[in-house]
Structure 1
Amino acid sequence: MRVKGIFGKAATGILVASMAFSMAKADTLADAMAGAYSHSGLLDQNRALLRAADEGVAQANAALRPILNYAATAAHSYNSTTNVTSNTATITLSLSQLLHDWGASQAGIEAQKQTVLATRQQLISIEQNVLLAAVDAYMNLRRDTEIVALRENNLRVITRELRAANDRFEVGEITRTDVATAEARLAGARAELAAARGTLMMSQEIYTAVVGKRPGTLSAPGAFPATAASASAASSLAVRSHPDMLAAQYQVAAAEAGIAQARAAMRPSTSLSANLGFTDDLRGTTTTNTRSLSVTASGPIYQGGLISSRLRQAMAQRDAARGGLHATRHNIRQGVGIAWAQVLSARAQTAASQEQIKAAEVAFEGVREEASLGSRTTLDVLNAEQELLNAKANAVSAQSAEYTATYSLLASMGLLTVDHLNLRVQRYDPEAYYNLVKSAPVSRSKQGAQLDKVLKALGKE
């Protein structure tokens, strides 16, 4: 009774919520995906990681810029032999500029650029996962809502059947066994309804977590998205354009640049240095100015095998990236094949369940009519009703599975993105931040001020 009361209150809450939301615009599948895209903390996290990768390009570019430093020193000294105390202040400016390093710095910049491109594709892959989670949450919620409605209707039907069985028992048409059978089936229907309501509440919580708001009335998902004419066509497109595949390719290119950087580090480099110094004894008697300009060529002779090890390490990382590319290609093809099979299976189940419903409806009406004439038992009627209920529940589940499978196929092809679906959301531009930071602007520059505005808009400061 306590469980019944809990789920009775829950059902009342669901009904009240449904009535409230019926006055508002129904949520669509596109609304759910747009909400998930705007709400996702996972996307925010990976956007921040992309901005961190963008800064890697800025830092690599900074290696080719002049480096200007200052040093200020105040000193006090005392000579006990001469009994002389002196106080001095020194200011020094030093400038250094890399002249030539056999392409090591350029290779470092290229490696960082390829890393940025790979990270952008990884962000798109995360975006696909977020949108697919929204599709799954939406379709599961619709399925569970419809199943609750079916269970409620089934409970009403069995209640009527029990009343009819009692009436027939009173006039002696059936036995007490028939009445008990109807009572047992009614108790089972109540238990199934309670379980369905519990599942519905769980789906509502999942939807809220994914989309970022409580669900209202959900509209029909509409037409299926266009995918591909065949499994081979879907696989070919996925291998060319899936973000995981592109990310793996960029990672190989970054590793290749790392090898070039490691090779260049084995050669000498040339740099220019300039220093300007000013020293004062703080008594106005002695002032010294110093200036120097030098060009230095330096290179490794022996470092205990360190630089050779770094080259071998870079080669191993390149080989690992190539292996990752090979594995990614196979995983993508496998994913497309599985998704295609799931779509075909779901379509077949949807078609079969519709035929099952038609046949079960005819059977139920016939059995019920025959029971009224005395040629069928109450159990026959209840079994026919159960068959019809199962057929309708199977149809609801099959339709939900077909939509989820279709969007999964779209994701396996690399096309489940806000751009491809043309969702109405404020899109995140991965190039905007990169274009501001790639030249490594300082904070006090005009471009640095623009960066400050961007960071404040993102809420990161």
Structure 2
Amino acid sequence: MNRATLLAAGLLAVSGAGVANAETLQDALSLAYRTNPSLSGQRALQRATNENSVQARTGWRPVVTAHVDSGYQQGPYSYDYRAGTIQTNSVEAAVTVTQPLYTGGRVANAVRAADARVQAGQQGLRLIEAQTFQTVILAYMDVLRDQDIVTVRHADLVTLERQVTETTSRFDLGAQVTRTDVAQAEAQRQQAVASLAAADAQLDASRADYRAAVGVSPGALVQPTALPGLPAVLDVALARADDTSPALQQSRLAATASQADVAAARSAYMPTIGAQGSFGYIGAAAPFRSHELDREVTGLVTLTQPLVTGGLVASQVRQAKDRNEADRQAVDTAARQAEQTVLTAWSQVHAGMISIHANEGQAAAAAAALKGYQLEYGYGLRSTLDVLIADENLRAAQVSLAESRHDTIVAEASLLAVTGGLDARALLPGTTIQDPQVAFNKVKHAGAAPWEGVIATLDRAGGR
């Protein structure tokens, strides 16, 4: 598969129209990358997933609360009800700061799990992007194929109408043409009418699919020669799939996250240490005199060690382990599927390239044969049936060529998708990339306290 000189030319061919008509494949992919609702929705879901990491990190951060209480009480002055009643009122205002100091690794492992799930989500976004591009490429190539087939069917009908006219004229003139020859020509012409109608209907359906995938109706599309970034040999394709397949990487990161969940569940056996401080004032609410309020200051350090949990923690650990085992099995499944997809797509691409070359030769030979038959028919050297068969052979070769071009590009898209090359970075040079890691970096440390690094280091050390 040595097509290095053709890789960029096929995709990056420039047509006369702009992006709005999505006439080149790159135009269509660029428009879908910016406007496809499924892809945009997945980006929003990924941003929501980023917040799980932020929320996990809050377990290392201080919580500051403020409260104001005001009360009134009326009751007996003493247990001697004859002594009368007394009325009291009070107001209290305080600010409380709670700072976790050590969580036994609970927060550290929760952060590990959340970060792994963020990365898994990024791979899931890559997968959706590749699937979106595959849908666009399929729709693009469907329209191209069906346009070519409509052209073939129309040319076939024109040829057969001419053949019917000529055959009928020869029959009327008493030449060596029978009524059977006329009927054969007319029958094949009627079949061409039906085939053209079916081709038109299929083209309309493909155009509708294109509009759904790209967002605009197709213009005058340009036939791509090849997609860029195809691996040169099968071993490279298999290695790339193992290293960069979005589905496989997503499965691996999901297993990493569930392994962190196991550690987080075990951390529930560990002690936790937290500090709390409070500062406020208390005094009479009425009459209110701020200078008469009493100041309250409290400080507290608490160590909590679970002793008996009724089997809850043990059950949570077992549950986390089983989920991790399921995730590890899913990694093996994804690896096998990636290998299968590579092998299948590689064979389809290789077969498609051979088919394109063969069908081009067949179509050229069939066109020459039909021209020769038509010429010889004029001299009475060929029968009507000979011309009809030659025409049918030409149209079959032309349709096969359109289908082989379509199938080859679609197979290339499948190969690039599984090897991690069907993304905007590879297919859309010069396009502003919406990198999910950039969005994650913006919120990752939002709300962090200056001393968070020290507490996180201690927590990670204790949670290993």
Aligned to 1:91, the other structure's residue is in SS state: strand
Deviation at 1:245, TM superposition (A): 2.2
Q: CA deviation at 1:223?
A: 4.3
Match of 1:304 among 274, 294, 310: 310
How far apart, CA to CA, are the structure 2 residues paired with 1:222 and 1:28? 11
Q: Deviations over 1:266-291 (max 9, x none)?
A: 11111111223423322247734322
Aligned to 2:438: 432
Question: 1:136 aligns to what?
Answer: 138
Letter in 2 for 1:278: Y
Whether 1:167 aligns to 2:169 is: yes
Q: Name the aligned partner's letter for residue 39 of structure 2.
A: L
1:209 paired residue among 190, 212, 222: 212
In structure 2, distance between residues paired with 1:24 and 1:271: 66
Q: Separation in 1 of the partners of 2:281 and 2:243?
A: 62
Residue identity in the other structure for 1:69: T
Contact 1:114/1:250 (CA < 8 Å) preserved in 2?
Answer: yes
The answer on whether the counterparts of 1:30 and 1:423 sit within 8 Å (CA) in structure 2 is: no
Q: Which of 389, 393, 399 is the matching residue for 2:399?
A: 393
The 3 A distance-change label for structure 1 pair 72 and 304 is: same
Aligned length: 421
CA deviation after TM superposition for structure 1 residue 30, in Å: 0.9
Q: Does the C-alpha gap of structure 1 residues 322 and 24 become closer, same or farther in structure 2, counting only changes over 3 Å?
A: closer
Map 1:53-132 to 2 at 5 A: 53-79=49-75, 82-132=84-134
CA distance in 2, matches of 1:47, 1:377: 65
1:273 aligns with one of 269, 272, 276: 276
Q: List per-residue Cα deviations over 1:336-383 (Å, max 9, x = no partner).
A: 001001112212221221232133223323332332233433232122
Separation in 1, partners of 2:437, 2:365: 57
CA distance in 2, matches of 1:178, 1:312: 82
1:333 counterpart = 2:339:
yes
Gaps of 5+ in 2: 1-14, 449-464
Give 1:170-209 correspondences, 5 Å limit.
Answer: 170-173=172-175, 174-209=177-212
Q: What do residues 388-413 of structure 1 show as CA deviations (whole Å, max 9, x unaligned)?
A: 11111111111111122122211121
Deviations 1:11-34 (A, max 9, x none): xxxxxxxxxxx9745711111111
Q: Distance in 1 between matches of 2:244 and 2:229?
A: 16
CA separation in 1, counterparts of 2:59 and 2:97? 13
Counterpart selection for 2:155 from 153, 156, 159: 153
Q: Which moved more, 1:91-100 or 1:393-402?
A: 91-100
Q: Does 1:259 align with 2:265?
A: no
Q: Give the drift of 1:110.
A: 1.4
- Percent identical pairs in the alignment equals 31
Q: In 2, Cα distance between the equivalents of 1:213 and 1:359?
A: 38
Matched, 1:372 2:378: yes
Task: Give the C-alpha shift of residue 219 in structure 1.
Answer: 1.6
3-state DSSP of counterpart to 1:341: helix
Change (3 A) 1:359 1:284: closer
> In the alignment, which of 194, 198, 223 is matched to residue 220 of structure 1?
223
Q: Secondary structure at the match of 1:229?
A: coil
> Where do residues 7-86 of structure 1 align in structure 2 (5 Å cutoff)?
24-25=17-18, 27-79=23-75, 82-86=84-88
CA RMSD, Structure 1 to Structure 2 (Å): 2.0
Moved over 4 A (4+): none
5+ unaligned residues in a row in structure 1: which ranges? 1-21, 443-461
1:226, 1:53 → 2: CA distance?
31
1:415, CA displacement in angstroms? 0.8
Find out whether 1:242 has 2:248 as its counterpart.
no
Q: Find the residue that maps to 1:216 and give its secondary structure.
A: coil
- Alignment partner of 1:93: what SS? strand
8 A Cα contact 1:62 1:440, kept in partner: no
Q: 2:103 touches 2:271 (CA, 8 Å); kept in 1?
A: yes
Equivalent residue of 2:269, what SS?
coil
Q: Tell whether 2:360 aligns with 1:354.
A: yes
In structure 2, how many angstroms separate the alpha carbons of the residues matched to 1:224 and 1:415? 10
CA drift of 1:205 comes to 0.9
Any idea what SS the aligned residue of 1:414 has? coil
CA distance in 2, matches of 1:437, 1:407: 34
The CA distance in 2 between the partners of 1:281 and 1:154, in whole Å, is 101
